[in-house]
Structure 1
Amino acid sequence: MRASFSAQALFAGLLAAFVGFASSFAVVLQGLSAVGASPAQAASGLTALAIAMGLCGIVLSLWRRMPITVAWSTPGAALLAGSAVPEGGFPAAVGAFIAAALLVLVAGLWKPLGRAVARIPAPIANAMLAGVLFGLCLAPVRAVEQMPTLALPVILTWLVVGRLNRLLAVPAAVVVTVGLLWWQAPPMGDLSFSPVAVLVVPAFDATAMVGIALPLFLVAMASQNIPGMAVLNVNGYRPDPGPLFTTTGLFSLAAAPLGGHGVNLAAITAALCAGDTAHPDRSRRWWAAVIAGIGYCLFGLAAGAAAAFIAAAPPILIQAVAGLALLGSFGAAIVAGLSDVADREAAVVTFLVTASGLTVLGIGGAFWGLLAGGAVMAFARWKR
């Protein structure tokens, strides 16, 4: 086992952990705050998610001897960022996190549910995801309008570094953002590197189940778990998806009472650990995923400081960084959603309803977008 370790796997794992955490932790904090989390609860959720995805990745990689990387659900966090505080406050949101984790768990144990999610028409699923991401992707433009002296250097850094290395573009933007904020007003007294854990007693509200839990589950499966399996398959790994989904569901369930909205298979960072960058020998790449898991756990222990720093920052600037992190996902989702001419109208309806911010009966736009787009698609196919 020791002989299979390599410096190449070490570098790939550390890079995956840095990119995975720095690229989207602002999205996670923004999402948790949007559904009612206090700064301490948001910091607790970030800590719980980072440690859960780190430990889950380590367990799966050691168990399967494959580079199985786990991440928090960035699209799920974006979904939360576009939601309203549920009627029961953050406890109701935590109840929805638990329900979403249970659905992932059941999808892993009961194959018909997993197959049913996989059969959601790709145009509808991608258009819903694009609608969820749209609001945050507008934030960089709004930030330039409201605070150009801070926003423009961040965006310029993202553009320049992205030309050299796309994976490092958002982390570089995060570093510049931190530097600018520190230069303006260093929040020395607020920073603490001690782990933050705040237990939230869940409340189970029907509207939160439909408006938060169900979309969270669908987004995690359609935009994270299924693409994550595809990345593994492309690189020559063929694990049984059921146990992987079940394990991520269990770790999501453990993180939920501490404010975590869920972990799932990684897609983008998975390519760093499962590809040639981790090692030419496919049988030795699993070490990269183990190192990435250790890195996530270490980041999780310092998540409280990250959350305190973000809480002291102008919200629009943090939203702008989050929007930059999601531009690639938005572009891929909108292209995939509109690529099929026959179902384009249904995808457009799904996107517009989801992005509108519509709330009916306390249920957010993602659910209504799925319903509206699905109805348009069903009618069009029946007519054809």
Structure 2
Amino acid sequence: MQSRTGFKLLAATAATLAAFAVTPAAAEQVVKLGFAAPLTGPQSHYGEDMKNGLTLALEEANAQKIQLDGKTAKFELISRDDQADPRTAVQVAQQIVDEGVQGVLGHFNSGTTIPASSVYHDAGLPQIAMATSPEYTEQGFNTTFRMMTSDTQQGAAAGEFIVKDLGGKNIALIDDRTAYGQGLTDQVAKAVEAHGGTIVAREYTTDKANDFTAILTNIKAKNPDVVFFGGLDAQSGPMRRQMVTLGIEAPLVSGEMTRSETFLKLAGDAAEGTYASLAGVPLQQMAAGTKFEEAYKARFNTNPGVYAPYAYDGAWNMVMAMKEAGSSKPEAYLPKLASLQRSGATSESIAYDEKGDLKEISVTIYQVKGGKWEMVKTMVSQAN
């Protein structure tokens, strides 16, 4: 039979072990960050690319055991599928708020981001979105920030390239009526006219269409030097094939959503010669692009898409703002996010202006050559 002393020692030892067992959990704080994007449907490849970039950043942040509010932060991504639909996006935004998140990394599309942003603003949640439409940061909200250059900046560069570099005098425009497509095309139109070009036609379609014969026939009659399309690769791919079939010799120029492997597959041989503008610089020219690419491939066993490095930096921007504030509380780290200055994967000079737009403007023009996207020209400057 054990003595009372033996029982006391065993009890004390058990209590000590139990205390050690609960210490790590007690010192850990889960920091939830919301994320929404199209994760199903024809735009799901955009959403998955963005999600992977965010995931990589938060896994790296967790490995650093960052101290927030006196505890070790464990970042978790609360993901929702907004189906690239504005109404769904608002519903999803409220779900994310109800989850008790401390910030939002998303949405992807301008058309979903803009209506959702008011939900986050009302909840006092900082939001860093991929959306490029200028309206997103022109609402007067102090909670809206970008991951990429805005369409005002990108459209200005694309329009200048069309007139000055391609020698386009008569330009035909097509947009898909989404906030992204229409917004980008509006900016291209302004830049074309500012540099002496003429808009000879403007046609409209939707982000669900795949037959553009009628509008392309109308455009062919105007004999344009260049055709610009604001919209998705799911439309620009078949559109380019139909342009070739109709004998339209003018090159197709589009935005960053066309600069994808999906466009190359959908357009096939007709893709040759197509141009696409992309906010930012090529991955190999980014401040830490090669390092990011290696980490991404090791984690996901695939090449990063266009949006992954910007999502990665967006997540780190929010994490670093929290780290500087020493807190995950939105009211504590929001001022740090607004005044953030850091070197990331995409740029050595990441900083925001008073609206939440990136101060550094970088736009690259690509062209399909030999079935691959190749860089033609890069323009980097600082916003006024």
Give the TM-score taking structure 1 as reference length. Answer: 0.27
Give the TM-score taking structure 2 as reference length. Answer: 0.27
More strand by share: 2
Pair member with larger Rg: 2
